[in-house]
């Protein structure tokens, strides 16, 4: 039987079944994030004067989330997942909303079992990349509800930059192409963690085994990928690890009313380039310098607040299209600038503080 590391290196992905304890790792985040989503929904409904349904609490989670998408004109996704959305020209940073980097999310990012598995795959010095995503894939009916609420406000959700990626089908890509090019040689792992079950009906991941061996490939990808893809149905507690050069996508949620909720957190070897140096990562596990490991969730969320404040003022160093067109020397310059500006958590906390 090949080891996890051998399977991961050979296939470019690895599924570890029942890796995480539901009661201590998954359910606390599921509960706290549901409360966050509900709070945001209520705030946006009040702000837009959309009548709060009498029995709001009796609506299903995907219905409530669809109302949030509609009432916020899609911009709640900017708040929940700024990592991609800060590239959108209309990016809205709303510091007045409840913080989206909640402690329960941080606790999952530094879960010991998760870090042990990462250590098996990339070695003992593990950085949490600043790149993370929250994806809740909705059924056709729930997407329609979101559209109806948005169009009552004159908004068109299809115009939102990364809307489909976050709530609809995710097209074929490899994660490496969304990082500036000095990160292409980094050992970056995507830990994809389902909160609900993920099935072929509700939008699970699909991978092309072995595709990571062909190096960085930009779009367009061959149409044959749809035939060659291997679907990865998983349950809460399982983890899918993806090499950042593994081609993957996710299927359209064709269910009647099911939804598929997952987070993915990226990790890399400490000292390597993350591809997004202008947002904050941290040391997740270090055997050589354990005192540098970040364990306080509030420090992490404040690092993000300071960073987003700063970027809202100063702008970001590249556009999304610019990422794929950027030369290696420019990428190295940007990474060096940010590594010098923010070498550790305290310097992120000081960012923009005069
Ligand atoms: O969860 C998903 O559907 C897609 C996630 C993904 O492909 C990514 O974050 O790179």
Task: Quick: pLDDT tens for 156-173.
Answer: 999 888 999 999 999 999
Whole-number Å distance, alpha carbon 261 to ligand 1 midpoint, is 11
In degrees and rounded to multiples of 5, residue 46 shows phi and psi of: -65, -45
For 218, residues 6+ apart whose C-beta sits below 8 A from its C-beta are 177, 324
CB 79 within 8 A of CB 94: yes
The pLDDT of residue 51 is 84
Whole-number Å distance, alpha carbon 290 to ligand 1 midpoint, is 31
Rounded Cα distance, 192 and 13, in Å: 10
Whole-number Å distance, alpha carbon 47 to ligand 1 midpoint, is 31
Ligand 1, closest atom to CA 175? 10
Considering only CA atoms, which residue is closest to atom 7 of ligand 1?
A: 249
Domains and CATH numbers, the chain: 4-350 (2.60.120.620)
Rounded Cα distance, 170 and 272, in Å: 27
Whole-number Å distance, alpha carbon 50 to ligand 1 midpoint, is 31
Rounded Cα distance, 117 and 110, in Å: 12
For 297, residues 6+ apart whose C-beta sits below 8 A from its C-beta are 101, 102, 103, 105, 106, 107
Given the structure tokens 């291997």, which residue do they identify?
230
Whole-number Å distance, alpha carbon 162 to ligand 1 midpoint, is 11
Considering only CA atoms, which residue is closest to atom 10 of ligand 1?
A: 175
Rounded Cα distance, 16 and 116, in Å: 12
Local mean pLDDT, 10-residue blocks, the chain (354 residues): 96 98 98 98 95 85 97 97 94 96 98 98 98 98 97 94 93 96 97 98 98 95 95 98 98 97 98 98 98 98 98 94 95 98 98 90
Tell me the pTM: 0.97
End-to-end Cα separation, the chain, in angstroms = 57
**Ligand 1 pocket test, candidate residues 83, 178, 205, most atoms within 8 A of CB:** 205
Ligand 1, closest atom to CA 169? 3
Bridge partner list, 125:
286
The pLDDT of residue 79 is 97
Q: In this predicted model, what pLDDT tens digit does every residue of 1-53 receive, in sequence order? A: 899 999 999 999 999 999 999 999 999 999 999 999 999 999 999 999 998 77
Pocket of ligand 1 (CB under 6 A): 133, 135, 170, 175, 248, 250, 262, 264
The pLDDT of residue 37 is 98
CB 65 within 8 A of CB 139: no
Indicate the helix (H) or strand (E) that contains 250: strand 248-250
Question: Quick one: the chain helix, strand, coil %, rounded to 5?
Answer: 45, 15, 40
Ligand 1, closest atom to CA 242? 10
The secondary structure of residue 285, as a DSSP letter, is: E
For 2, residues 6+ apart whose C-beta sits below 8 A from its C-beta are 10
Considering only CA atoms, which residue is closest to atom 1 of ligand 1?
A: 135
61-71 and 140-152 helices, crossing angle to 10°: 30
């Amino acid at each position: 039987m090949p080891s996890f590391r051998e399977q991961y290196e050979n296939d470019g992905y690895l599924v570890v079944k029942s890796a995480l304890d539901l009661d201590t790792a998954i359910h606390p985040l599921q509960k706290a994030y549901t409360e966050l989503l509900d709070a945001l929904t209520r705030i946006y409904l009040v702000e837009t004067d959309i009548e709060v349904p009498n029995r709001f609490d009796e609506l299903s989670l995907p219905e409530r989330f669809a109302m949030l998408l509609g009432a916020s004109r899609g911009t709640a996704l900017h708040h929940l997942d700024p990592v991609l959305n800060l590239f959108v020209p209309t990016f809205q940073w709303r510091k007045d909303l409840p913080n989206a980097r909640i402690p329960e999310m941080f606790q999952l990012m530094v879960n010991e079992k998760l870090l042990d598995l990462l250590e098996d795959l990339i070695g003992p010095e593990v950085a949490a990349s600043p790149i993370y995503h929250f994806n809740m894939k909705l059924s056709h009916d729930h997407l329609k509800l979101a559209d109806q609420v948005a169009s009552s406000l004159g908004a068109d959700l299809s115009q939102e930059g990364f809307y489909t990626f976050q709530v609809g089908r995710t097209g074929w890509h490899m994660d490496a192409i969304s990082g500036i090019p000095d990160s292409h040689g980094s050992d970056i792992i995507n830990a994809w963690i389902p909160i609900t079950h993920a099935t072929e009906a509700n939008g699970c991941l699909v991978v092309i085994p072995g595709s990571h061996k062909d190096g960085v490939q930009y779009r367009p990808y061959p149409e044959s990928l749809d035939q060659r893809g291997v679907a990865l149905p998983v349950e809460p507690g399982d983890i899918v690890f993806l090499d950042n050069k593994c081609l993957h996508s996710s299927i359209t949620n064709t269910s009647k009313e099911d939804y598929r909720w997952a987070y993915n957190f990226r990790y890399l070897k400490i000292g390597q380039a993350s591809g997004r140096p202008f947002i904050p990562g941290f040391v997740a596990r270090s055997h050589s310098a354990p005192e540098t490991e970040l364990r306080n969730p509030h420090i992490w969320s404040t690092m993000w607040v300071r960073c987003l404040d700063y970027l809202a003022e100063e702008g970001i160093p590249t556009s999304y299209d610019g990422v794929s067109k950027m030369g290696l020397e420019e990428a190295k310059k940007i990474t060096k600038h940010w590594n010098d500006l923010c070498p550790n958590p305290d310097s992120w906390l000081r960012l923009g503080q005069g």
